[in-house]
Amino acid sequence: MIQSPMAPSIDQGFAHLDVELAGLLARHLAAQGLDTTAPNTAWWCAAAAIVSRAQASGHVGLICADDDGAVQALALLTPTQPGLAAALQAFMTRWSAGTPAALADPVKAAVQASGLLVHDQQRLYLRRLWAAEVRVAQSLAARAQGFRSLTDSEGQRADALLQLWFASPDAASTGDQQQACRRALHTPLTVLTGGPGTGKTYTAARLIALIQALRPAEQGCARVALAAPTGKAAARLRGSMEQAWQVLRESEPGTDFWDAAWRAVQAPRTVHALLAHWRRDARAQGVLKALPEPAAAPVDVLLIDEASMLDLELLDELLRYLPAQAHLVLIGDQDQLASVEAGSVLADICSALHAHPAHSALTRSRRFEGRIGAWARGIQAQDPATLSEIAAQAFTDRAELLDAALGPHGWGGILSAGAQQPVPLSEADLRGWLESLDRFRVLAAVRHGSWGVEALNRDIERGLAQRGLLNLDQPWPHGRVLMVTRNDEDTGLRNGDVGIVLQAAGSQAQFAWLAGQELRRVSVSRLPPTEAGYAITVHKSQGSEFDRVVS
């Protein structure tokens, strides 16, 4: 290991992985005959630990010099334990003092030859993240530069359909949505952004339909893949697309075109499930190649919802499978949740595409009001007075939060409505009960701890049992709300699907859920792993559009 004041350690706020990476680089440099105790050599080994710590905090690279040549370490190099911030800051100060000399030192060539670090444009990267960033930038730039002109007949057809689909007494209310669809027809890259309630998914569904309608007949319908980072968002996307397609069928009755076009749209998956499916297809064909050139996926349009949650390496792999001629549609809000992994991908793309035709921003919100909306606007405006006022109204007592969660507008009301129906329920009653699940949820920022999802779910179930709404003495209580946590091809259940346990006298318990607009049931014995679904994390809630939340 490095014998130098520049040696990173656990006591300075670094994780074991960070320290090991520094040691690996030190061993490589020593094998090249370099003295790892020399200041500049030790500086580079310390840099490996710092960049690793930055990556764990969500940063793709570390800015190491500003325009004046002064060293500037990125914020949020979060220590692994509380109380180590001062030690980490002191270490960063020592490290910063050596930057100008180290960046010009011959040791730099040996470091970059190690394959661990890259210094590029005043930034330090782990090589794999640097390579991913370069590939993503090149791929998106190539798509953004593509341009296609519409023929007169295509333009007239597009205008007629857009006026039909976005008909409104207030033309201004849908003008930005129509314009986004028109712009998207000219480029193989579409980035559609906007806050909650601005109609992103509504617009994207019509964009997919427009692409299908303008596709030459001899090419057949476009093969469309739909995905989202979380199971809940994927399920919501499925429902939105099915509703949109029903409107399309009604807008042009007497034609089977929209049925054929819908058959070419794949059921939404999580991004990870989509990639797994593409990998399996490639292996089945016997043509899976070593990266960076995997077999192209059989898709003409790829739509990713809630794209703010995409991390850099995930988008990199998607683009490496996506055919160069395929249309990529990214939907999301760059001001919402970022990925838990490294990279603020959507925000960076929006910044790079500022004023570019490939980027359309929807600004008119149709449903995002109340305290949540005011809180979001206060954060964006950096208005501490507004945030303090709203925070004063928040739940500070756990019992108060649980009372709201179990009240008539929460789980108590939802389960009471179902419990009042005769068992077994009619299909109409069951469908109504399942639809009510998507109107309310308890949200938490974390899984563990007294305010985490696991503890809240336990307390909510106990509270429902005390109110006579759940019989916890049964192994599968009638009315228990469960969320699936793993995809299952046999049952068609997806990670994030939420449903209800049905228990009728003399019958085996079943699990019922809505797959888009389709009501499905399966025996509880066939369920993949599940967990209670009354409270979920904020990340899992992305794209859910609940009417009411308690958090």
Q: Which of 34-43, 209-218, 373-382, 501-510 has the lowest mean pLDDT?
A: 373-382
Q: Are residues 222 and 279 in the same domain?
A: yes
Report the C-alpha gap between 280 and 370 in whole angstroms: 45
- Nearest Cα neighbor of 324 from 143, 135, 141, 137 is 143
In a domain, 292, yes or no: yes
Say what the pLDDT of residue 377 is. 66
Angle at 119 between CA 115 and CA 120, to 5 degrees: 120
Q: Are residues 221 and 358 in the same domain?
A: yes
Q: Which residue reads 């054929």 in tokens?
A: 260
Beta bridge partners of 382: none
pTM of the complete model: 0.72
- The answer to whether residue 394 scores a pLDDT higher than 80 is no
Q: Which of 25-34, 157-166, 258-267, 363-372 has the lowest mean pLDDT?
A: 363-372
Residue 374, number of CB atoms within 10 A of its CB: 16
CB 96 within 8 A of CB 71: yes
pLDDT tens per residue across span 42-66: 888 888 888 888 888 778 887 776 5
- The model's confidence at residue 284, banded by pLDDT at 50, 70 and 90, is low
Report the C-alpha gap between 402 and 381 in whole angstroms: 31
In a domain, 127, yes or no: no
Q: Which residue reads 């779910």 in tokens?
A: 457
Beta bridge partners of 531: 483
Determine the residue type at 549.
Answer: V
DSSP-assigned letters across all residues of 127-143 = HHHHHHHHHHHHHHHHH
Determine the residue type at 526.
Answer: R
- As a whole number, mean pLDDT of residues 327-332 equals 91
Q: Are residues 40 and 101 in the same domain?
A: yes
Say what the pLDDT of residue 69 is. 37
Say what the pLDDT of residue 71 is. 45
Q: Give exposure, 201-235, as e/b (b: 16+ Cβ within 10 Å).
A: bbbbbbbbbbbbbbbeeeeebbebbbbbbbbbbbb
**What is the β-pairing status of strands 224-228 and 359-362?**
unpaired
- Of 121, 145, 170, the residue that ends a domain is 121
Q: Are residues 381 and 405 in the same domain?
A: no
- The answer to whether residue 267 scores a pLDDT higher than 80 is yes
In a domain, 492, yes or no: yes
Q: Are residues 352 and 387 in the same domain?
A: no
- The answer to whether residue 2 scores a pLDDT higher than 60 is no
Say what the pLDDT of residue 68 is. 39
Backbone angles phi, psi at 538, to 5 degrees: -60, -40
Say what the pLDDT of residue 33 is. 85
Report the C-alpha gap between 21 and 103 in whole angstroms: 19
What is residue 122's three-state secondary structure? coil
CATH number at residue 410: 3.40.50
CB 528 within 8 A of CB 486: yes
- As a whole number, mean pLDDT of residues 456-480 equals 84
Q: Are residues 354 and 276 in the same domain?
A: yes
Q: Give exposure, 338-364, as e/b (b: 16+ Cβ within 10 Å).
A: bbebbbbbbbbbbeebeebebbbbbee
Q: Are residues 283 and 351 in the same domain?
A: yes
How many domains does the chain divide into?
4
Q: Which residue reads 């970022």 in tokens?
A: 338
Q: Are residues 79 and 42 in the same domain?
A: yes
Say what the pLDDT of residue 302 is. 93
Report the C-alpha gap between 110 and 309 in whole angstroms: 36
Query: Looking at per-residue confidence, does 385 or 131 come out higher?
Result: 131
Bond before 424 cis per omega within 30 degrees:
yes
**What are 320's two structure tokens?**
């490496």
Q: Are residues 159 and 298 in the same domain?
A: yes
Distance of CA 475 to the CA centre of its chain: 34
Q: Which residue reads 């939340």 in tokens?
A: 549
Say what the pLDDT of residue 329 is. 92
Sign of CA dihedral 457, 459, 465, 469: negative
Query: Looking at per-residue confidence, does 202 or 369 come out higher?
Result: 202
- Of 54, 88, 121, the residue that ends a domain is 121
In a domain, 4, yes or no: no
Say what the pLDDT of residue 544 is. 62
- The answer to whether residue 395 scores a pLDDT higher than 70 is no
Report the C-alpha gap between 432 and 420 in whole angstroms: 13
Q: Which residue reads 């509703």 in tokens?
A: 243
In a domain, 126, yes or no: no
CB 327 within 8 A of CB 300: yes
**Average predicted confidence (pLDDT) for the chain:** 79
In a domain, 355, yes or no: yes
CB 471 within 8 A of CB 501: no
User: Residues in the chain, how many?
Assistant: 551
Say what the pLDDT of residue 367 is. 58
Determine the residue type at 129.
Answer: L
In a domain, 309, yes or no: yes
Q: Which of 37-46, 340-349, 375-384 has the lowest mean pLDDT?
A: 375-384
Q: Which of 57-71, 120-134, 145-159, 466-480 has the lowest mean pLDDT?
A: 57-71
In a domain, 68, yes or no: yes
Q: Give exposure, 302-329, as e/b (b: 16+ Cβ within 10 Å).
A: bbbbbbbbbbbbbbbbbbbbbeeebbbb
Say what the pLDDT of residue 432 is. 81
Backbone angles phi, psi at 133, to 5 degrees: -65, -40
pLDDT tens per residue across span 511-551: 888 876 778 888 888 888 888 888 888 777 765 667 677 76
Report the C-alpha gap between 233 and 157 in whole angstroms: 32
CATH number at residue 263: 3.40.50.300
CB 316 within 8 A of CB 130: no
Q: Are residues 257 and 154 in the same domain?
A: yes
Q: Are residues 385 and 371 in the same domain?
A: yes
Q: Are residues 259 and 329 in the same domain?
A: yes
Say what the pLDDT of residue 422 is. 54
Report the C-alpha gap between 534 and 365 in whole angstroms: 27
Report the C-alpha gap between 539 and 443 in whole angstroms: 9
Percentage, residues of the chain above pLDDT 70: 81
Distance of CA 210 to the CA centre of its chain: 25
Report the C-alpha gap between 169 and 518 in whole angstroms: 32
- The answer to whether residue 74 scores a pLDDT higher than 60 is no
Query: Looking at per-residue confidence, does 539 or 195 come out higher?
Result: 195
Quote the domain boundaries for residue 539.
395-550
Report the C-alpha gap between 424 and 294 in whole angstroms: 50
- Of 59, 88, 121, the residue that ends a domain is 121
- The answer to whether residue 236 scores a pLDDT higher than 80 is no
